[in-house]
Amino acid sequence: MRRTLSLLSFLVLLAAGLDGRAMAAETTAIALDDFSYTDTSAEPTDQSAAHERRLQAFMAALRRDIGADRRYRLVPSAQDGAAFKVIGGIQKTSTLVQWAKVAVIDVGAKKLVMDKLYTFRGDNDESWQRAEIFVSREIMAVLGVPAPVTLAVFDFELEDTTAASTGASATSDASYLAEVTASVRESLGQSGRYRIVDVGGEAAKAHALRDCGGCEAAIAQSLGADQSLIGVVRRVSRTEYTLGFQVRDTRTGAVLARADSGLRLGADYSWKRGAVRLVSDRLIESR
């Protein structure tokens, strides 16, 4: 009986851990810094202690409200994987008037998605509470969950610096490259950050995209994609290779991301594992 209970407890804990990881993957990480406070009202009474207490209560309530929404997950800082960073400050300009400046930064895109100035009357617990409720609703309305980027992932190409592959070897290379492409598409699609566009016949028509000077962006745009990705496996020897990929904006052709694995050890069957790890590190986990 004791062993049965122990096993049951283990399974319950395991399920809870898996649920927690799934929930973390589905939520948007938010970094919420403490707001600053400035008093320029020139009132004769020193209210520093009261203002500090009210600001702490304001921030605690703001974090509680945002964290209570299951779409969001609060993290300590932008370096901890935050998709958005919230910053702000409050200034008291007179006995009855205070201003609140709030900004929300899209960390990945490095741009402001909200930059607003609010005013609220009064300097007591009730007025601060009303201000917090309003500001939290404004922030949450702006945050939302970002729509996935539509991405055209073209077939990975092989750049072979060893003796040219022929016959059975060439067939084997094509099979492993197909596995690389399929696995990368699956990994990016499952991340929730990207919606993979079917390249269909365009992939078969396009050869050596790595040398076409960015033509993949135009092809991807014609397929309705926001971004394009091309990848290359460079074979150095039968047991050494490197991996690289490049992502472009389909409207401008600008390179948005580029990565190279450096020299890796392993035969062709290890290409898939290396490619998935590279795109996960550079496109999924780093954003």
The average pLDDT across 209-213 equals: 86
pLDDT tens digits for range 108-140: 888 888 999 999 889 999 899 889 988 988 898
Higher model confidence: residue 3 or residue 258? 258
The label of the residue with tokens 């283990």 reads 10
Question: 69-78 b/e with 16+ CB inside 10 Å = b?
Answer: eeebbbbeeb
List b or e across 117-130, with b for residues whose CB sees 16 or more CB atoms inside 10 angstroms.
eeebeebeeeebee
The dihedral built from the CA positions of residue 169, 170, 176 and 180, taken in this order, carries a sign that is positive
State the pLDDT confidence band at 164, using cuts at 50, 70 and 90: low
Q: What is the pLDDT of residues 17-55, one digit of tens each?
A: 434 444 444 688 999 999 999 999 999 999 999 999 999
- The pLDDT value given to residue 286: 63
Residue 50 in tokens: 């009261």
% residues pLDDT > 70 (the chain): 84
C-alpha span between 127 and 144 (Å, rounded) = 27
In the predicted structure, residue 235 carries a pLDDT above the cut 80 = yes
Q: Which of 198, 192, 187, 190 is nearest to 155 (CA)?
A: 198
Please give the backbone phi and psi of residue 270, each rounded to the nearest 5 degrees, phi first: -95, -5
pTM above threshold 0.85: no
